[in-house]
Each structure stands twice: as C-alpha cells, then as structure tokens.
Amino acid sequence: MHNKKINIAVDGFSSCGKSTIAKGLARELGYTYIDSGAMYRVVALHALRKGWLTETQINEEQLKKHISEMAITFRTNARGEQETYLNDENVEREIRTLEAANGASRVSTLPFVRHELVRQQQLMGKEKGVVMDGRDIGTVVFPDAELKLFLTATPEVRARRRYDEMKAKGDDPVFAEVLSNVEERDLRDTTRAESPLRKAEDALELDNSHIGIDEQLQWALEMYHKITANNEQN
Ligand code: DC
C-alpha cells in the first residue's frame, strides 16, 4: 500500500549533518527537501548588501520594511543539487560564507524575521511530503510533524566537519576560528528569546559524533517506516 505523505522535521546545532540526513531522506522517499537555514542566510545577505547589517548594528526598521520584497526560492541545477535564489538571482555560493552564517544567526533573533520565514515555511509544507531542516522545525514550524529528528554532535566534531568542508572548497580556514564560530552560534541559537533551538519533546535524538552517514540515514529511514506503519494501523 502507498504510504500517506508526512512532514519530517530535522533539527539540531549548526554543522551537525542535518542537511545530509534531510537530503538523504528526501531522496529515498521522493520528498521535497527544504533548507530553512538558507532562508535566514538570504535575509542576512540582503541586509549585508544594503548596509542594514553591520558588525555592530542591525537596521531593523529598513529590514522590516523590505522583508516582504525578498522572494526566496529553491531550484535544482543540472547536477541535481538544490540552489537558493533571491529574486531570481542565484545566491547559493554567497550565502555559504562565514559572514552570511554569522549574519543569519543574528537576523534570526528578530521576531519579525522569524515570523515571516516561518509563514513561508509552513506554506511550503502544506501539502506534506517535505523534509525540512533547521532549529525550530519540530517546535514551531511543524509542531505536528509526524517524524521529528534532533541531531547532536560535539562542538569539536562539528568544527572539524565545517573546517574540512571549507578546505575542500579551496578556502584556508583557521581551526580555532571555526571552532569559536561554532560555539558562538550555539550560544546564540540556544539562548535567543524567540524560538530558541531546543529538542521537541517528541523528537528522536541522535548523537552522530561517531556515526557515519549511511548508518544515520538507515536509522532515520527505520524511524520513518516505524512511524508510517503505525499511522497505517491507526
Ligand atoms: O543551518 P544554518 O547554519 O544554515 O542556519 C543559519 C542560521 O540561521 C543559524 O545560525 C540559525 C538560524 N536558523 C534559525 O534560527 N532557524 C532555522 N529554522 C534555521 C536556521
């Protein structure tokens, strides 16, 4: 029998391998993958470009005024990879810089930014069949998601992954800086007043510090099958 589509929430700290597992699940199940962090990064990039976001300040008034003018979409390129667009411009590369990551962490503390992006994310999940990764997917965006995963790994392991990724891209990062960036973002993501990062009560937690990608995906698929089998019975 064909399973009814569900929504899957994948939350956790930064550089925890959320997107790898979320993309893997989407591929295996024929679901749509949505990277909610990319949306916060786009808002940050736009604000940085306009000068509304500087090292020391955020021009909330301007950002608020223009936030609805930012059309954020995802398109698949010729290699089958998903890329992020801002008003028809491919911004995939630019939103992956440390500057954009830090900016995203800062703009994501603003309630009006979260409110607008959550609204768009909920629309994207209306028809179900979505795997979305982020920080507040299981708690705020899809509190009714049938399957919620919460990934963790030690800061050192996450910084190492991020460092290797940057190296592979041809950057020349300093490990201590990458680590302190990870720790800084953890602190901000977990302590902000507006929907801080936390595990939903009904989320299944996995510490993947020492687990490979294949094994994680297998675990997630097992959880999916368990849940959908239960749903069929009820
Ligand atoms: O997952 P990421 O590193 O691309 O996310 C960038 C920033 O956006 C991160 O510091 C926290 C924020 N974010 C958020 O607050 N809520 C989400 N659902 C996703 C990301």
Residue 7 scores a pLDDT above 70: yes
Tell me what pLDDT residue 15 has.
87
The residue to mutate among 40, 166, 187, having the most atoms of ligand 1 within 8 angstroms of its beta carbon, is 40
Domains assigned to the chain: 1-31+132-225 (3.40.50.300), 33-128 (3.40.50.300)
Residue 158 scores a pLDDT above 80: yes
Phi-psi region of 87 (alpha: psi -120 to 50; beta: other; left: phi over 0): left
- CA of residue 13 to ligand 1 center, whole Å: 9
- CA of residue 118 to ligand 1 center, whole Å: 12
Work out the pLDDT band at 66, boundaries 50, 70, 90: very high
3-class state of residue 214 by DSSP: helix
Tell me what pLDDT residue 185 has.
86
User: Does ligand 1 lie within 6 Å of residue 108's CB atom?
Assistant: yes
Residue 56 scores a pLDDT above 80: yes
Residue 131 scores a pLDDT above 60: yes
- CA of residue 210 to ligand 1 center, whole Å: 23
Tell me what pLDDT residue 231 has.
74
Atom in ligand 1 nearest the alpha carbon of residue 11:
18
Query: What is the C-alpha separation between 111 and 22, in angstroms, rounded?
Result: 26
User: Does ligand 1 lie within 6 Å of residue 14's CB atom?
Assistant: yes
User: Does ligand 1 lie within 6 Å of residue 118's CB atom?
Assistant: no
pLDDT in tens, 216-231: 999 999 999 999 987 7
Residue 123 scores a pLDDT above 70: yes
User: Does ligand 1 lie within 6 Å of residue 11's CB atom?
Assistant: no
Highest mean pLDDT among 6-10, 190-194, 195-199: 6-10
pLDDT in tens, 18-39: 999 999 999 999 999 999 999 9
Work out the pLDDT band at 188, boundaries 50, 70, 90: confident
Global pTM value: 0.92
* DSSP assignments along 81-128, one per residue: -EEEEETTEE-TTGGGSHHHHHHHHHHTT-HHHHHHHHHHHHHHTTTS
Tell me what pLDDT residue 32 has.
96
Which residue is it, tokens 């993309």?
23
Largest Cα–Cα separation, the chain: 56
pLDDT in tens, 91-100: 999 999 889 9
- CA of residue 182 to ligand 1 center, whole Å: 12
Tell me what pLDDT residue 2 has.
58
The residue to mutate among 7, 11, 14, having the most atoms of ligand 1 within 8 angstroms of its beta carbon, is 14
Which residue, among 43, 163, 60, 62, has the nearest Cα to 100 in the 3D structure? Answer: 43
- CA of residue 133 to ligand 1 center, whole Å: 9
Query: What is the C-alpha separation between 162 and 116, in angstroms, rounded?
Result: 29
User: Does ligand 1 lie within 6 Å of residue 136's CB atom?
Assistant: yes
